[in-house]
Every structure is written in structure tokens, then in C-alpha cells.
Structure 1
């Protein structure tokens, strides 16, 4: 009987350690070194990318587009829109899941650009915060998977004990 209990105890210990590691996990699935963040932020200060857009209307490191409604035509029909999209592409090429200080992603800012320069009633509204939906990256969905896998392991462990 003791011989049969030993593998079950080993499995129980393994399961508990595995669940503890999963449940105690915090942070993002991918760690981004500081040099990569600095390189991505250089895209916003690149004189080749941002050469024709007025500095007041440029995308900031905080993730804001400070375009007043009266400057919408100048922003959307001038060099600013294209240069901002180039800066976002540059950032995305450096770090695909980059987060600005306001937790906006490149996708969120692209949505704000599209809405602000659209022909709809949202034209002139470059409020990036409107497009930040709480889940700022795919890494934030990891804790939901952890709970699922922890429950599955617990059920599997319980079945093996019976």
C-alpha cells in the first residue's frame, strides 16, 4: 500500500508546486529590456520620420495626440497623419506589444487616428483614452488561463486519487 501511495504523493507535490508557480505569477509574459523601450521611444524623436509635422501635434511618449479640433484639417491633410503612422510603425517594428505611459497600444492610437481623421461625427476627436479597453495587451489574459489550467490540474489530480 505504501508503494502505491508514494507516486501519488510525488504527483501531489509536483501539482502543488506547479499550481503555486502559476498562481503566483505576476507581470507580462514577455519582459522588454529598457534598451528596447528607449529605442522604440526614439521613433517619436526621429527627425527623418517627424520632419514636416508641427511639434505641438506630434504623438507624445505618454500616448496622447494633442490635436485641437481647429487643427484637424491641417493634421489629417498635411504631413502629420502620415508621419504619426510612420512613427507608430517604427515603434511596432521595435516592440510589437509596446505600451505608452497611458497604457495605450499602437493599435489604440491607430484607432484614434482613424476616428479623428474620419468623415464621421468623430472627426477631430483624437482622444486615445476612448480606445484603451482595459486589456492593453494579450499578456493580460494570462491570469485567466492560469485559473483554467490550475482547475484542470486539480480535477486531474483528484481523479487520480480516486
Structure 2
């Protein structure tokens, strides 16, 4: 009886340790290379920006320098599509990329949606006002890509030992 109980505890502990080890993160030794690759999305080598005026392009600093009176030109012309291509390029290389001003890819997308929207904020392309999501609720968010795996990890780390205890 005692060996059966200790075997259950040992197997439960082993399952939990293996699960935690498998889900742990390792640092990428080439982190500088990844950031450099992300910055190539702005490079003229890829010709992502070809028709958008240089003054209206998204910069590596995280700025979109479009005056409010030029919102129709930016939103109705090639700049909007080309900027979205740059954001997709950055997202593919490094999904949690941060610009020099601290803005995330989602912050830039929010800024573009607000600046090109048909509300009173049309033409407002100031990224600094849209950092860290939308505090006013005028835009939906696609969610944090990390939130789902952490919640599942928490769920598994709670139920897996219970399952192992009762079935082993």
C-alpha cells in the first residue's frame, strides 16, 4: 500500500517536472541577429516601400509622420498597404518586436486604425498616445499571443498532477 502511494507521488512529480521542463524557454544565442533581421524589413533591399512617399513611411523609431490633412492620401494610397506589409514582416520575424519609442506592432496597428478611421481622431497618427493598447475602448484588440499558452500551462499544471495521482 505504501509503495503504491509513493509510486503515485513519484510518478506525479515526474510528470510535473517533465511538463515544466518541456515548457521552459531558452534564450536564443543569436538575439542580436534576430533584431537585425527584423530591422531589414525597413531596408530598401526588400522594396516593401516602393510607392509610399518617404516622409510618410513608418520608421524604425516607431513614428508615422503623416499630417492630419494628409490622412486621405495616406489611407487611400499605397502607404497604408505598404506599412501593413512592413508590420507583417516584423511580426513574422519577431512577434514581440518593440520600436525605439517602445511601441509594439499592435500599438502601431492601433495608431493606423485610429488615424485612418472615420471618427473624430481621423488623421491622428501620434503613436505615443496609443502605447500599451487602447485605454478608451474605441478599438478592439486581437489579444496577447502569450496569454493563451500561459493560461493553458496553468490549467495543465493544476489538473495534470491530479490526473496522475488518481490514474497511476
Q: What TM-score bracket applies, with the shorter chain setting the length?
A: 0.5 to 0.7
C-alpha displacement at 1:98, in angstroms? 4.9
How many positions carry a matched residue from both structures?
157
**Equivalent residue for 1:145, pick from 143, 152, 159:** 152
Instruction: Give the equivalent residue in structure 2 for 1:10.
Output: 10
Which blocks of at least 5 consecutive residues in structure 2 are unaligned?
Answer: 135-140
Q: TM-score, normalised by structure 2?
A: 0.64
Is the contact between residue 99 and residue 136 of structure 1 (CA under 8 Å) also seen in structure 2? no
C-alpha displacement at 1:84, in angstroms? 1.7
Instruction: Give the equivalent residue in structure 1 for 2:62.
Output: 63
Closer, same or farther: CA 120–9 of 1 in aligned 2, 3 Å: closer
Distance in 2, Cα, partners of 1:9 & 1:90: 48
C-alpha displacement at 1:14, in angstroms? 0.7
C-alpha displacement at 1:158, in angstroms? 4.7
Distance in 2, Cα, partners of 1:31 & 1:99: 17
Which blocks of at least 5 consecutive residues in structure 1 are unaligned?
Answer: none
Is the contact between residue 62 and residue 100 of structure 1 (CA under 8 Å) also seen in structure 2? no
SS in 1 for 2:152: helix
**Equivalent residue for 1:97, pick from 95, 98, 119:** 95
Distance in 2, Cα, partners of 1:136 & 1:118: 20
Q: TM-score, normalised by structure 1?
A: 0.66
